[in-house]
Each structure stands twice: as C-alpha cells, then as structure tokens.
Amino acid sequence: MKQRRKERIDRGTKARSDDIFALTSYREMLYVAVPPVLPVIALLVMPLILPPYWQKVLLQTTIFALLAISWDFLVSVGMVSLGQALFFGMGAYVAGCLDHYAGLPIWLTIPLATVFGGALCTVLLLPVLRLRGVYFSMVTLVLPLMLERIIEATGMLGGTEGLTGIKPFGNSWVEMYVVIIVLLIALFGFRRLVTTDYGLVLKAIKDNDRSVMSAGINIYWMKAQALFISGSVGSFCGAYITHVYMFVGMPDFALDYSILPLASAVVGGMGTFAGSVMGAFILVPLSEALRNVGGLRIVLYAMSLVVFIVLLPEGIFHYIQRKYQQFERWVEVEG
Amino acid sequence: MNEATNKTNEVILSVQEVSKSFGGVRAVVGVSFDLRRGELLGIIGPNGSGKTTLVNLITGFVKPDSGSVKYEGQDITGWMPYRIARLGIARTFQMIRPFAELPAFKNLIIPLFSPRVKTLSGGKYGDLDSVAKDLLEEVGFERESSVTYKAAGSLPHGYLKRLELAKCLALRADLIILDELFSGLSIAELASIVPIIEKLMVEGKTVIMIEHRLRELFRIANRVVVLNYGHAIADGKPSEVMERDDVKQAYLGTE
C-alpha cells in the first residue's frame, strides 16, 4: 500500500547558520537576523504609534508575556504551576507595603519586591518541592486563593479595601519602556540561560530526576533556585502593576494571573519563551478587541482558544519556526 | 608498596543486615556483605529476588527498614541519593532513560556539573563540552562521529548503555553499580563493552554488576552474591556458587 508522508528538509541557510555559521551574503544574514530583530524593533516602536487606550493594552500584554515566560521556565524544570498569581500577588503586596508603610521610593520598592517576593514564594513552596506532577500543581493553585482569603478574613494589609495611594511612575514613557525593556531582557536572558550548563541541568530534572540525583546534584536545591528565578519575574510584574494602578489589593491574587500566562504559553508554544511572548501578544489584545462584542465575549474568546490549540497543538511559534526553517513536501512511501 | 596493598584490601562498602519491605512484600531480608576495593561483585538471582531494591538501598533511592550501609567507614544509611553520589558511588538504571532531547555528549554535562567533579577538578568547571566528548570516546563513541551529536533519545541501544557507563566515569566514581548493563546487547556489542569494564578494574575501580547474563558475568566477576526471595543464599567464587544445590534450585525451580 502506498502512503503519503510529509518530508521535512532544513533550508540551506538554516543548516549553515546552525553550528558552523558560514553565512555568505547579506540575504543570508538577513534570514538569520530578522526573526529576533524585527519583534524587538516592533516592541520598541509600538508605544510611539499606538493610541493611549492601546498603550494600556500593550502594557497589560507585556506583563502577561512576562508571566508566561516565568511559567514556561518553571515547566522546563518539570514544575507545572497553576499559580503564577501567587508570584504576582506576592510582588504586588511586598511593593505596596514597602510604599505604604515604609514610604520607600519607587526605584527601591520594585527591585526589593522582585527579590523578596521571589524569595517569599520560594519559601512558601519549599515544603512541596518534593511533590511531582499534578500534586505540585494543586498546591500552587490553592496557595494564592488561600492568601487572598487570609487577607479578607484578618483584614490585615488593608483587608478587602486594599492599600490605595501608592506612588505612580509619574512619567508614562518611563512606565511603558521599563516593562518593555524588562521583557526583552527576560526573553533573551531565559533563552540564553536554558542553553548554559546550568540550564541543561535544570531541564534534565524534568526529563529524569533520578538520573540527575545519581549525578550527585541536589535537585531540590536546583528546583528552589528555579522557583526563585521564576517567582522573581512574577513578583516584578506584581510590583510594577501596583505602581501603575497605584493600588494593591485582593484582586492581585486573582485566577486570571494564573490562567492567562498558561494559556499564552500553550497557544504560543512551550519551551521557547518566544512562544510565550507571542501567545500573550495574541490572547491579551484579542480579549480587548472582543470587548465590543458584549455578552458573548467570553464564549468567543474560549472558542478561539480551542481553535488555536486544536489546529496548532505544537504552538504558533513552533509552527512558524518550522515553516521558516524547513521545506516540506509530500512523498510517497511504501506502507 | 605496603600502603598500596593495604588500600587494595580495604573494605570499601559494608552492607549489614539490611531489610526492606514494601507493604507485605519482603523485598530484601537481612542481606549482609563486605566489598573490597578493586573487586568486581556480581549480584544475581531470579526475577523479583530483590537485586534492584538492594542497589536502591545502597544508593539511597530507598531507605532501609533496618540494617546499615557503610561506605569507606562512613555510615550512609538513609542519606539522600545525591549525597551518596557525591561520595563517589555512581549507578546506572535498569530502565535507561537518557536526557532524550539533548545530544549524546550533552548528557554528560549533568554528572560533570556535580559538586564532586567541581571539587576534584580544583574548584573550576572549565569547558565541560570537550571533557564530555573525551569521555564518550573512552566508552567507544568514535571521535567526532555523528552519534556524539545525535539526540540521546534516538541512539541505538548499545550506545545508550555506553552513555550510561560514561555518566559513571564523568562522576569520577570509585564504586560503580551497573544494573543489568548487559541486557539486550548483542554478542558483538558485549564484546566491545566488556573491555571498558575490564579497563575500569585495571584502574582500581570497584564494580557491582546486577546481571542475568551469567556466562558473560562470570568471565569478569571475582565473586557473586545470589539473592532469592530477598535473602542472600550464597556468596563466593562464581564457579563454586553455581555448584550449590540451593542456587541451582532457585534458578531452575524445584523438581
């Protein structure tokens, strides 16, 4: 029986730029340079040309892209988190408290909240580092919801009212570009990190943690470090948004901050970070654009999510990358 | 000279009366043996006799219910696996799961990254990629051949076994525990992997091999321990042990 099978062949330029790096013309250099450079330029130019409302959407999108990156990083170490809201809310509250109670300036609250927020999240999750798979996920899902209820019940840190009157950035250009530059650093930083020896060890934990342990590596210490890195990125997002909205409160632990980053990374394509960013830049503006639709907004949104995942389960980024780097043709094979 | 002889005779691993039950199943029952530096010990026994559990007890993946394990005089009973590995005990797994997406040589980055290797190389890591490629050559990957760069998940079985061996070498282990290394290998593959183990012995390493392929094992082992239903029923030279009636019975069943 004859069967048809898709054959994939690397494009010449891709092969030559992979490890031997023998590029011979401007055309080939462009082929290699355009994919990373074009989005960077687009991201830097966008605030200059977008109307004010869409600038706010861009800001939101960038935050969700960062959260998606931090989610994607944890997954690559084998920890599937359903609670990026924990990281986000923790950063938001640390920054809010440092501003409200200690009166620290904004250029101190955000870095401090980034580090301490990440550290607090790591400490909170330390007892469950040994849990694997869905057990770890369940705990991460529950923790932010629990913290939210604790604040509601005890009325501490502003209780249900939250803390208001947090200092704003003051300059909207600074506000916009701070988060864009952090996103670019995170994107290229994480892409670099996972190819270092340290990153390889982290990824190996996901593949086979027993084998990593028999190599004399303390996987719990490595996982804690990964949690700290991911938690810090999430905490930065929370701290930043606290200063943008000049408010910190219970909504900072909302489920949105857990689910949307996850959806972005899955739709965009996991394991590349670029996919996470791409996913966020599709889903967040889409959700805004659907606002005009009214009542059916959530239905349409959910349907488009399903369409993305069913049509491109590998993720949009992986799909585009494949099309860009490889020829495809149908060949007949003996079945 | 005198010191060297002492060193070769020294007991490196001492397993005393270790037992482990899983629920109602007594997987390992009061097993004891001493292992001297430079020995090649085979652990044999029918399926389910507790061989892999014994290895897991030594390497810390399973904590014993009772008994003790000493390595170089230090009590390591109940230690975490990574601490035991840092002392220089390396092991392979029966079910080989390489870091599938990584190229073969990159698999060795993980053991090379361990604190033990860092300490032994004077506190620096250096260029791990080239060290990894050297190690692969030692276990029979042809230098700069395509297999070195191939994703480990798509390596042929024989190469996977060698890769496992290379991981033990990467850790610069003194005691190497090989869990069914020979299983599934062709005669030709065996012929190329046995010399690697013989070379380890010449270098003064101590090796424990769990094996079902007795003929190949007996050619290189100085000593075997036979397990049956979790009990160590025999301990001695391969030729003597296999003459015993209880061992024959355990292997062939009661007539």
Query: Does residue A207 belong to the interface with chain B, where contact is any CB pair within 8 Å?
Result: yes
Contact yes or no for B196/B139 (Cβ under 8 A) = yes
Nearest beta carbon to residue B82 from set A200, A207, A218: A218
DSSP string, B92-113: --SS----TTSBGGGGGHHHHT
pLDDT, averaged across chain B: 88
CATH number at residue B40: 3.40.50.300
Residue B71 and residue B179 in one domain:
yes
- Taking the domains of chain A in order of start, what are their residue ranges? 12-49, 52-254
CA dihedral of residues A295, A298, A301, A307 (deg, nearest 10): -110
A15 and chain B: CB distance < 8 Å anywhere? no
Are residues B67 and B111 both part of a single domain? Answer: no
* Residue range B87-146, pLDDT digits in tens: 999 999 988 888 888 889 999 999 999 989 888 888 777 788 888 998 998 888 887 788
- Judged by a CB distance cut-off of 8 A, whether residue A202 touches chain B is no
Pairing of strands B11-22, A326-334: unpaired
pLDDT at residue A260 tops 90: no
Q: What is the 3-state secondary structure (H, E, C) of A31-96?
A: HHHHHHHHHHHHHHHHHHHCCHHHHHHHHHHHHHHHHHHHHHHHHHCCCCCCCHHHHHHHHHHHHH
What is the distance in angstroms between the Cα of B17 and the nearest Cα belonging to chain A?
A: 24
- Cα separation of A90 and A144, whole Å? 9
Q: In this complex, do B171 and A198 lie within 8 Å of one another by their Cβ atoms?
A: no
Chain B residue with minimum CA distance to A201: B110
Nearest to B86 among A210, A212, A216 (CB): A216
| pLDDT over 70 (residue B8) | no
Write the CB contacts of A124 (distance below 8 Å, at least 6 apart in sequence). Answer: A86, A143
For residues B72 and B86, the answer to whether their CB atoms sit within 8 Å is no
The pLDDT score that the predictor gives to residue A93 is 94
Between chains, do A214 and B128 touch, taking CB under 8 Å as contact?
no
**Percent share of chain B, pLDDT over 70:** 95
Smallest CA–CA distance, residue A166 to chain B, in Å, is 45
Chain B CB within 8 Å of residue A218 CB: yes
Task: Pick the residue of B110, B121, B127, B160 with the most A CBs within 10 A to test the interface with A by mutation.
Answer: B110
Q: Distance from A1 to chain B by nearest Cα, in Å?
A: 27
Instruction: Decide if A217 and B82 are in contact by the 8 Å CB cutoff.
Output: yes
Evaluate whether residue B140 is within a structural domain.
Answer: yes
| CB contacts, 8 Å: A197 with chain B | 109, 112-113, 125, 128
Q: Do A207 and B97 touch (CB under 8 A)?
A: yes
The pLDDT value given to residue B1: 39
Q: Are residues B74 and B102 in the same domain?
A: no
Better pLDDT: B118 or B58: B58
pLDDT for B80:
94
* pLDDT at A22 (0 to 100): 64
Looking at the structure, tell me whether residues B205 and B235 fall in a common domain.
yes
Answer whether B99 sits within 8 Å of A216, measured CB to CB. Answer: no
User: b/e map of B60-72 (b: 16 or more CB within 10 Å)?
Assistant: bbbebeebebbbb
* Same domain? B10 vs B133: no
* pLDDT value of residue B198: 92
Residues in chain B closer than 8 A to A198 (CB atoms) = 113
pLDDT of A16: 65
- Tell me the C-alpha to C-alpha distance, in Å, between residue A189 and each of A101, A131, A273, A315: 34, 28, 10, 21
Are B242 and B233 within 8 A, CB to CB? no
Residue A149 scores a pLDDT above 50: yes
Residue of chain B whose alpha carbon sits nearest to that of A203: B99
Cα distance from A196 to chain B (closest Cα, Å)?
Answer: 10
Angle subtended at Cα B68 by Cα B62 and Cα B74, rounded to the nearest 5 degrees: 105
Note whether B18 and B48 are same-domain residues.
Answer: yes
Is residue B93 situated within a structural domain?
A: no
Nearest-Cα residue of chain B relative to residue A205: B99
ipTM: 0.87
CB pairs under 8 A between A and B: 77
Gap from A191 CA to chain B (nearest CA, Å)? 16
Co-location of B134 and B182 in the same domain: no
Contact A208 B97 (CB under 8 A): yes
Beta strand B206-210 with B40-44: parallel, antiparallel or unpaired? Answer: parallel
Structural domain span for residue B106: 98-173
pLDDT of B2 > 70? The answer is: no
User: Does the beta-carbon distance from B101 to A204 stay under 8 Å?
Assistant: no
Q: Report how many domains make up chain B.
A: 2
Amino acid at B101: E
Going by pLDDT thresholds of 50, 70 and 90, the confidence category of residue A335 is low
Per the prediction, chain A carries an average pLDDT of 88
**How many other C-beta atoms lie within 10 A of the C-beta of residue A286?**
15
**Interface check A195 vs B, CB under 8 A:** no
- Identity of the highest mean pLDDT range in A235-244, B1-10, B43-52, B148-157: A235-244
Same domain, residue pair B59 and B179: yes
- B192 is a domain residue: no
Q: Which residues of A touch B82 (CB under 8 A)?
A: 213-219
B-side interface with A, Cβ within 8 Å?
Answer: 59, 61, 80-83, 85-86, 90-91, 93, 97-102, 106, 109-117, 125, 128, 167, 170-171
Shared domain check, B67 and B2:
yes
* Among the partner residues A197, A207, A216, nearest to B171 by beta-carbon distance: A216
**C-alpha span between A298 and A290 (Å, rounded):** 8
| B102 inside domain | yes
Segment A2-16 mean pLDDT: 75
Candidate from A11-25, A246-260, B154-168, B198-212 with smallest mean pLDDT: A11-25
**Residues of B whose CB is below 8 A from A208:** 97-99
Distances A45 to A30, A40, A288, B110 between C-alpha atoms, Å: 20, 9, 20, 42
Is residue A211 less than 8 Å (CB to CB) from chain B? yes
Residues B10 and B29 in one domain: yes
In this complex, the residue of A197, A200, A214 whose CB is nearest that of residue B81 is A214
- Whether A234 has a pLDDT exceeding 60, the answer reads yes
The span from the CA of B162 to the CA of B96, in Å, is: 11
- Tell me, yes or no, if A44 comes closer than 8 A to chain B by beta carbon: no
Distance CA A71, CA A63 (A): 12
* Same domain assignment for residues B107 and B81: no
* Whether residue A39 has pLDDT greater than 80: yes
Q: Which residue has the tokens 């430079």?
A: B38
- Chain B nearest-CA distance from A315, in A, is 18
Chain A residues near residue B80 by CB distance under 8 angstroms: 213, 218
Residues 6+ apart with CB under 8 A from B237: B222, B223, B224
Q: How long, in residues, is chain A?
A: 335
